[in-house]
A and B are shown apart, each in its own frame.
Chain A
Amino acid sequence: MNLALAPETLARWQFGITTVYHFLFVPLTISLATLTAILQTAWVRTNKEKYLKATRFWGKLFLINIAMGVVTGIVQEFQFGMNWSDYSRFVGDIFGAPLAFEALIAFFMESTFIGLWIFGRDKLPKKLHLATIWLVALGTVASAYFILAANSWMQHPVGYRLNEKTGRAEMTDFFGILFQNTALAQFFHTMTAAFLTGAAFMVGISAYHLLRKKHIPVMRSSLRLGLVTLVIAGLLTVISGDRLGKVMYEQQPMKMASAEALWETQAPAPFSVFSYGDVDKGHNKVAIEIPGVLSFLAHDNFYEAVPGINDTNAQLKEKYKDTVGLDDYRPNIPVAYWSFRWMIGFGMASFALGAVGLYLTRRRFWLAERLRTGEDERPRLALTRNRELSPRLGVWYWRLSALTLGFPLIANAWGWIFTETGRQPWVVYGVLPTASAVSPGVSQGEVLTSLLVFTALYAILAVIEVKLLVKYVKAGPPELTEADLNPPTRIGGDTGDGADDRPMAFSY
């Protein structure tokens, strides 16, 4: 059969497309839930209208996103069984539990309280309504933990034994699986990247409005929240990325070597900035490198050796010759190499822009009195204590911020492409090759059908979603009504004159 259209290849493409697509919405959902909750908390505590307006504005964008995240998430749970039934049989004893926990503990919380938050404005007292968005935020984070713990087991299987008779992996230590170092490192990195994503989104859209000098009080506060989050999350993403890199190096040396296109073992090992390789011949034609940095990424020092692709491949062949017996344990090297660079590049570009922005828009620190701005003024971009950025450059700062709001989304996508393709040829590292995981009973035609259906459907929905986002971004924060400013004091809504026929604050 034509390899490009083999059911396994098609199933992998489908998993890749649906997962990357799903993960466009996930980090935004996670971070925007919390950021919206923070803004609503600010409103409850200060009673300032700008915070309520900001809550409504970001909340709306959050809802447009979470809708897509939720529906594309259903596919994720189903397609293990649909396309990877042999995988499901093999790992169900272990992998199913976190998935079930995710549904029972996290999804229920998220989905139930989101309904209460959307429709509950005129039904719940102020603080109770605030509690619902915090519970949604908690649900999104809990959900992320469970699914990342499950994924971590595929990266680094622990707490199990192989049952020779049934040929299945069986769980022996649930908490060992749930809290292994891979899971903690992945969770830390994914969470910080998620907040980087939501923060860049918030900064970008605030900058878009501030560039036009519109909705200044709301956008000013949002920009500030966004920039602070962006810088903190950016820093933590670097730290967590470094931690995860070391875990990965220990557990999957091949992935680290591939990320660097490091063909031969080297000491000290350099970090490759750019290279152009010859995959078949196993070496690079061109390479620009920073000496010692890869050693640091792997070992925390600048001199120790890092094993190369060729040596690692030989070792793995020797190690698995009697069990799995594959011919080649290399992932797709160019994909691993470039995805690693795109991930870091796009993520860090966003972080840098945030750091610059936080400095330029500072409120008091090292800033002359005349450059300080009030709540309804656009922040001035101050280069030094007394000097502003030239207007032309200033415009470019706002523009760049708006234009790069999607950078972390790109970084996230490459991050997952890196870590999942970099694990190949394994689906469960060192235990189950991907080729043995696919559903044997599902035909080529069936996978091709679903691949095309999902791709087409997702493409159409993407267009619809982006158009809606643009519409609501442009519209800016809504005007508040009397009812908005005076939430009910009783659960179920206030009673009294005409309360029975009063329109809902929100309806579909």
Chain B
Amino acid sequence: MHLHDVWFVVIAVLWIGYFFLEGFDFGVGILTKLLARDRAERRVLINTIGPVWDGNEVWLLSAGGATFAAFPEWYATLFSGFYLPLLLILVCLIVRGVAFEYRAKRDGERWQRNWEHAIFWTSLVTAFLWGVAFANIVRGVKIDQHMEYVGSLGDLLNPYALLGGLLTLVLFTFHGAVFTALKTLGDIRTRARRLATGLGAATAVLALAFLLWTQAQRGGTASLVALLVAVVALLAAIGTNLAGREGWSFTFSGLTIVAAVAMLFLALFPDVMPSTLHPDWSLTVTNAASTPYTLKIMTWCAAFATPIVLLYQGWTYWVFRKRIGTQHLAPSGGH
């Protein structure tokens, strides 16, 4: 196995980690309107991810940084090619981060309500756009012989990509509902479970359609296996949720995300960004990669840092393992 293959896997793992973790963050953000009935419940939701959302978001920065370092051509083509969607994602991530931090810093009704709107909309738009972006990467876009994206914004909004966006949106919301059921107490927990059932069914339909479409377009044996794992995990997540086994349900909804994203990367390999104009113009793990020397340095760093990161991030979840109900909210919020 070449180092550039290793780094393809590392980048896949970073994206998987990002979608697993920030997936439920986005979901929780969306549920502030879908599930919460009043401000206290919205606060409960926001506080289930309060201590962790920032750390979760670093998975994205690591994926971005690793792509830049290990596959500069991929980073350059992708980020300049998907310019406007990425701009929108950036705006959402900026507003969303500030919203979490600043919402409770003032008591005013309008102040808090505005930031809550912001949390909902930015979570929703970002959850949708990541699906659109990844679907386009896997499907392939118009890339010329100089590795430049030559398509338009409209080209990115094709039916397959929109279906991908819809899938991530609903899947993350489902994941968030399952997470909420696991992390909350009282009435909201029961309702989260009930909502998760409906969301699970919707996810199943969308996932089946999108993943089969992907398999038909670019799939191989490995991606088929991942597809099956994703589908089975999703059914298990729905089933365990119905049975009230919240820990298991969250494990399986997480596994669904892991398997689905893994499937996309397996379908992609050995390309990293296929060209729809000419197969020779595709970006691959070889022509987009950095030199073996850089990859070697990076491998050392990742091998050293990743276990430590996993350890302390895992520890954080353990420290904040208690469920939260409305009775736990600090009276004066973030003062």
Whether A and B are associated in the same complex: the answer reads: yes
Write the residues of chain A forming the contact surface with B, with a CB cutoff of 8 angstroms.
Answer: 63-64, 67-68, 70-75, 77-78, 80-83, 85-86, 88-89, 91-97, 99-105, 107-109, 111-116, 118-120, 123-124, 168, 170-172, 174, 439-442, 446, 449-450, 453, 457, 461, 464, 468, 471-472, 478, 491-493, 501-508
Interface size class of B (residues with CB under 8 A): 35 or more
**CA gap between A86 and B148 in the complex, in Å:** 10
**A103–B94 CB distance below 8 A:** no
Closest to A105 in B: B305
Closest to A117 in B: B51
Chain A residues within an 8 Å CB radius of B103: 508
The 4 closest A-B pairs by CB, nearest first: A92-B72, A81-B79, A96-B69, A96-B68
**A105–B301 CB distance below 8 A:** yes
**B76–A89 CB distance below 8 A:** yes
> Is B213 in contact with chain A by the CB < 8 A criterion?
no
**CA gap between A67 and B51 in the complex, in Å:** 13
Chain A residues within an 8 Å CB radius of B64: 77-78, 81, 103
Q: B62 touches which one: A85, A89, A108, A168 (CB < 8 A)?
A: A108
**A112–B69 CB distance below 8 A:** no
Chain A residues within an 8 Å CB radius of B70: 96, 100
**CA gap between A508 and B70 in the complex, in Å:** 38
**A171–B68 CB distance below 8 A:** no
**B334–A171 CB distance below 8 A:** no
**CA gap between A113 and B73 in the complex, in Å:** 33
Among B83-91, B198-206, B244-252, the one that faces the other chain is B83-91
**B294–A94 CB distance below 8 A:** yes
Taking CB atoms and an 8 Å cut-off, the chain B residues in 108-148 that contact chain A are 147-148
Among B53-61, B167-175, B230-238, the one that faces the other chain is B53-61
Known: A63-B101, A504-B328, A507-B43. A96 touches B87 (CB 8 A): no
> Is B285 in contact with chain A by the CB < 8 A criterion?
no
Known: A96-B75, A506-B330. A71 touches B97 (CB 8 A): yes
**B62–A100 CB distance below 8 A:** yes
Write the residues of chain B forming the contact surface with A, with a CB cutoff of 8 angstroms.
Answer: 43, 46-47, 50-55, 57-58, 60-62, 64-73, 75-81, 83-84, 86-87, 90-91, 93-95, 97-98, 100-106, 147-150, 290-291, 293-294, 297-298, 301-302, 305-306, 309, 312-313, 316, 318-322, 324, 327-331, 333-335
Closest to A83 in B: B80
Known: A85-B80, A115-B51. A95 touches B68 (CB 8 A): yes
**B84–A104 CB distance below 8 A:** no
Chain A residues within an 8 Å CB radius of B52: 112, 115
Chain B residues within an 8 Å CB radius of A107: 58, 61-62
**A82–B86 CB distance below 8 A:** yes
**B290–A104 CB distance below 8 A:** no
**CA gap between A397 and B84 in the complex, in Å:** 50
**A507–B329 CB distance below 8 A:** yes
**CA gap between A101 and B88 in the complex, in Å:** 26
**B333–A507 CB distance below 8 A:** yes
Known: A115-B54, A116-B51, A491-B319. A81 touches B329 (CB 8 A): no
Known: A85-B80, A104-B62. A74 touches B90 (CB 8 A): yes
**CA gap between A159 and B305 in the complex, in Å:** 24
Known: A74-B93, A105-B305. A115 touches B50 (CB 8 A): yes
Chain B residues within an 8 Å CB radius of A99: 65, 68-69
**A81–B75 CB distance below 8 A:** yes
Closest chain A CB from B209 CB (angstroms): 31
Closest chain B CB from A164 CB (angstroms): 14
Closest to B84 in A: A446
**A492–B319 CB distance below 8 A:** yes
Closest to B68 in A: A96
Chain B residues within an 8 Å CB radius of A75: 90, 94
Chain A residues within an 8 Å CB radius of B335: 478
Known: A96-B75, A116-B319, A491-B319. 18 other contacts (CB 8 A): A77-B64, A82-B86, A85-B76, A92-B72, A96-B65, A96-B68, A96-B69, A104-B306, A111-B58, A115-B53, A174-B297, A442-B83, A450-B83, A461-B98, A493-B322, A503-B328, A503-B329, A507-B43
**CA gap between A472 and B335 in the complex, in Å:** 9
**CA gap between A311 and B84 in the complex, in Å:** 44
Closest chain A CB from B333 CB (angstroms): 7
**CA gap between A82 and B329 in the complex, in Å:** 41
Chain A residues within an 8 Å CB radius of B46: 508
Q: A449 touches which one: B84, B97, B318 (CB < 8 A)?
A: B84
Chain B residues within an 8 Å CB radius of A71: 93-94, 97-98
8 intermolecular pairs with C-beta atoms under 8 Å apart: A74-B94, A80-B79, A103-B66, A171-B294, A503-B331, A507-B329, A508-B47, A508-B101
**B97–A70 CB distance below 8 A:** yes
Closest to B63 in A: A103
Known: A64-B101, A78-B90, A508-B334. A101 touches B290 (CB 8 A): no
Q: A111 touches which one: B55, B104, B294, B327 (CB < 8 A)?
A: B55
Closest to A86 in B: B76
**CA gap between A171 and B296 in the complex, in Å:** 11
**A503–B61 CB distance below 8 A:** no
**CA gap between A94 and B72 in the complex, in Å:** 10
Chain B residues within an 8 Å CB radius of A68: 98
Chain A residues within an 8 Å CB radius of B327: 501, 503
Closest chain A CB from B202 CB (angstroms): 29
Chain B residues within an 8 Å CB radius of A123: 319-320
**CA gap between A113 and B313 in the complex, in Å:** 9
**B78–A81 CB distance below 8 A:** yes
Q: A104 touches which one: B51, B98, B305 (CB < 8 A)?
A: B305
Known: A89-B73, A507-B47. A67 touches B98 (CB 8 A): yes
**B102–A108 CB distance below 8 A:** no
**CA gap between A115 and B294 in the complex, in Å:** 33
Q: Most chain-B CB neighbours within 10 Å: which of A86, A112, A501? A: A112
**CA gap between A27 and B12 in the complex, in Å:** 33
**B328–A501 CB distance below 8 A:** yes
**B87–A453 CB distance below 8 A:** yes
**CA gap between A441 and B102 in the complex, in Å:** 37
Known: A83-B80, A93-B291, A99-B68. A104 touches B301 (CB 8 A): yes
Q: Most chain-A CB neighbours within 10 Å: which of B43, B70, B87, B90? A: B90
Chain B residues within an 8 Å CB radius of A63: 101
Known: A81-B68, A103-B62. A504 touches B47 (CB 8 A): yes
**CA gap between A507 and B104 in the complex, in Å:** 8
Closest chain B CB from A466 CB (angstroms): 12
Closest chain B CB from A236 CB (angstroms): 30
Closest to B101 in A: A67
Closest chain A CB from B56 CB (angstroms): 8
Closest chain A CB from B40 CB (angstroms): 11
**CA gap between A41 and B101 in the complex, in Å:** 25
Chain A residues within an 8 Å CB radius of B106: 468, 471
Q: A82 touches which one: B80, B316, B331 (CB < 8 A)?
A: B80
**B321–A492 CB distance below 8 A:** yes
**B65–A103 CB distance below 8 A:** yes
